[in-house]
Amino acid sequence: MRQARRLTVLTGAGVSAESGVPTFREARTGLWAKYRPEDLATPEAFQRNPKLVWEWYALRRQRVSVVAPNAGHRALVEFEGRVAVFTLITQNVDGLHQRAGSRRVLELHGNLTRTKCSREDRLVESWPETAEIPPRCPRCGGWLRPDVVWFGEALPGVTLAAATQASRACDLFISVGTSTVVQPAASLPYEALRHGAMVVEVNPNGTPLSGEANYRLPGLSGEVLPALLGAAFGPSAGP
Ligand code: OAD
């Protein structure tokens, strides 16, 4: 950590778990244990039942608005100030990294708190409140939808290119709180390995990456990341 000039961190739902945001794939508590992604997180699901999809995301947005970033998010803010070149890549759509104070976040899967027009693919800041769900785009009348990436949709190209570049160019890559199974995000630690970086995984459970990573720190991100920060930069480095 102390020697790293370029640090890239990839986060997943596990980083927000200690804030009370459910993950996706954990057996009892994960969202995909309770709901079917094909009913809620695909363009086809939205075409079939836009009201259901809008309301599910509205509920998640409301839940995220009442939770707070945790010590793991805060430790990542500190890393940003202490490493020469730091890149934070997230698969999370909850905006908690930004709320903790991270300035530059590469959001691979979008952000729940933003809304876009499903027809024009443009961000929409405000719209007239009517009884209709989902609301309509004030410009073209198309349905509004959350600005998140659904299964079967392409990731934002510029963001993915920047994430890939930062994974190839770093000397230390930390993968935190992700099951490392959803592509293309899951390939980023392997890009780092292939280009000679040291790869560290922070996760209480094993993942497909566990056997490949140089180090595995089995624990909660809200405990391991502050400990890593303190070990690298001294006990006063706490968030
Ligand atoms: P998953 O739910 O697949 O994985 C969460 C990971 O976090 C698991 O490996 C857990 O072991 C780990 N975990 C749980 N609590 C943790 C903690 N306190 N500290 C550290 N790790 C912890 O979530 P993602 O990998 O983020 O995509 O899922 C990737 C994508 O799949 C999501 O972005 C979402 C989902 O479908 C879209 O919606 C497009």
Band (pLDDT 50/70/90 cuts) for residue 27 is confident
Considering the chain, what percentage of its residues have pLDDT values greater than 90? 87
Rounded to the nearest angstrom, the gap between the alpha carbon of residue 65 and the centroid of all alpha carbons in its chain is 16
Token look-up 């480095």 returns: 237
Strand pairing class (85-90; 6-11)? parallel
User: Ligand 1 centre and the CA of 76: distance in Å?
Assistant: 17
3-state SS, residue 175: strand
Report the catalytic residues: 109
For the stretch 53-76, pLDDT in tens is: 999 999 999 999 999 999 999 999
pLDDT digits (tens, 9 = 90+) for 75-130: 999 999 999 999 999 999 999 999 999 999 999 999 999 999 999 999 999 998 88
Nearest ligand 1 atom to the CA of 220 is 19
Residue 170 has pLDDT above 80, yes or no: yes
DSSP β-bridge partners for residue 8: 87, 173
Q: What is the pLDDT of residue 238?
A: 63
Residue 13 Cβ inside 6 Å of ligand 1? The answer reads yes
pLDDT at 145 over 70: yes
Q: How far is the CA of 176 from the centre of ligand 1 (A)?
A: 9
CB-ligand 1 contact for 156 (6 Å cutoff):
no
Closest residue by CA, ligand 1 atom 36 = 24
The model's pTM is 0.96
By CB neighbour count within 10 A (0-12 exposed, 13-18 middle, 19+ buried), where does 103 fall?
exposed
In the reported structure, the alpha carbon of residue 183 is separated from the centroid of ligand 1 by a whole-number distance in angstroms of 13
**E-assigned strand segments in the chain:** 6-11, 85-90, 105-107, 110-117, 144-148, 172-176, 198-202, 215-217
